[in-house]
Amino acid sequence: KRAAAADLLRVVAGPDADDTVSVVPDPRRRLPGRGAWLHPDSGCVALAERRRAFGRALRVTDPIDPAPVREYVSGAER
């Protein structure tokens, strides 16, 4: 669903490691590169993983590791 930009979390593709791209949270909205936006709740992160939306939104063809975003969102929900 749609939301105001202030209510969304920006994520970017982080540095490559072992042929895997990490999706890292960018809460300050300052990291360079193409970004994607999602709701900062675990349900939205799980849905994006299931639909493989991170790769399409960030235009990355390598395997994606969304663990940093998952950890950030679970910490923010507490």
pTM of the model: 0.87
Give the C-alpha separation, 3 to 60, whole Å.
Answer: 25
Give the C-alpha separation, 8 to 44, whole Å.
Answer: 11
* pLDDT on residue 17: 63
Residue pLDDT, tens place only, 6-33: 999 999 998 766 778 899 999 999 999 9
